[in-house]
């Protein structure tokens, strides 16, 4: 498994400053979250030469995380749904330009303000839109991977293994296994049992099961030893991306993961 790191909107660092920090820790790959204010502009820019110039200074393998703030592939409103698809199409293009092989996406949520009888419609909207995105991704050599969501007020349509399996099997996308998100709903290890063949990316952070806290491994109640052993038995050799919300917690996470991987 390859220990990597993702950007975070509140780090308040330029892309170069963040990559310099990652270089010191000798992590790879780097997942670029396009909600970052410095990065999201490239979805509408006619040129990304300055971004390519910055990224090319480093020898990282890059992953891309599509925007999710205000983006909802499951939304019933078709006008907004088309806009969400457009965002994803722009994301695929950017990923192709920077040679990122995997794009992680969120499919969104079903608003608590709608009657539950429309939930199945929202799911099928997400599946239909994601099918279109996956088809375009295949044409440019990019893998689309759907991420399981965390507990929130709105209804999650990609929270449990059965929901992820339904989406994956109907769209031919892959699965980004977010361990912390899984823990807010159920035993996160069961995702490996049921969806192991689809996993191409792993997000790692901890919590106490009640909410999405993005804590350092060991600061919550997740049994990471069990999870990592299951991934080893699966012969998973892909990215293990740290998703915590401070630079100090990144350093602590690297220490914790490296120690556990040796046991």
Check pLDDT > 80 for residue 46.
no
Distance CA 241, CA 251 (A): 13
CATH code reported for the domain at 2-261: 3.20.20.150
Check pLDDT > 80 for residue 263.
no
Sequence-ordered list of residues with C-beta below 8 angstroms from that of 23, at least 6 positions apart, any chain: 58
pLDDT one-digit tens code per residue, 54-92: 999 999 999 999 999 999 999 999 999 999 999 999 999
For the chain, the domains span 2-261
Please compute the mean of the pLDDT values over residues 251-263 and round it to a whole number: 89
pLDDT one-digit tens code per residue, 223-244: 999 999 999 999 999 999 999 9
Cis previous bond, 29, omega within 30: yes
| Token pair in block for residue 212 | 């999405």
β-bridge partners, 254: none
Q: What is the CA radius of gyration of the chain?
A: 18
Q: What is the pLDDT of residue 101?
A: 95
When pLDDT is cut at 50, 70 and 90, the band that residue 251 belongs to is: very high
pLDDT one-digit tens code per residue, 190-219: 999 999 999 999 999 999 999 999 999 999
When pLDDT is cut at 50, 70 and 90, the band that residue 44 belongs to is: confident
């Amino acid at each position: 498994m390859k220990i990597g790191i993702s950007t975070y909107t509140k780090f308040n660092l330029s892309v170069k400053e963040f990559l310099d920090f990652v270089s010191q820790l000798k992590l790879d790959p780097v997942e670029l979250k396009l909600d970052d204010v410095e990065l999201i502009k490239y979805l509408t820019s006619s040129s990304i030469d300055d971004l390519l110039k910055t990224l090319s200074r480093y020898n990282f393998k890059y992953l891309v995380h599509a925007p999710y703030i205000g983006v909802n592939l499951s939304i019933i409103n078709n006008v907004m749904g088309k806009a969400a698809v457009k965002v994803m199409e722009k994301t695929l293009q950017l990923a192709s330009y920077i040679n990122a092989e995997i794009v992680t996406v969120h499919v969104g949520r079903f608003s608590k303000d709608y009657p539950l009888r429309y939930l199945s419609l929202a799911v099928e909207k997400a599946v239909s839109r994601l099918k279109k995105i996956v088809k375009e991704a295949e044409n440019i050599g990019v893998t689309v991977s759907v991420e399981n969501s965390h507990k929130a007020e709105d209804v999650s349509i990609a929270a449990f293994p059965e929901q992820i399996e339904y989406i994956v099997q109907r769209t031919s996308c892959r699965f980004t296994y977010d361990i912390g998100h899984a823990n807010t709903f159920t035993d996160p290890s069961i995702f490996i049992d049921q969806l192991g063949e689809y996993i191409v990316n792993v997000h790692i952070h901890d919590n106490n099961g009640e909410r999405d806290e993005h804590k350092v491994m060991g600061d919550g109640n997740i049994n990471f030893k069990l999870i990592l052993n299951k991934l080893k038995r699966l012969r998973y050799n892909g990215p293990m991306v740290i998703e915590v919300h401070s630079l100090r917690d990144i350093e602590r996470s690297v220490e914790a993961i490296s120690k556990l991987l040796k046991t």
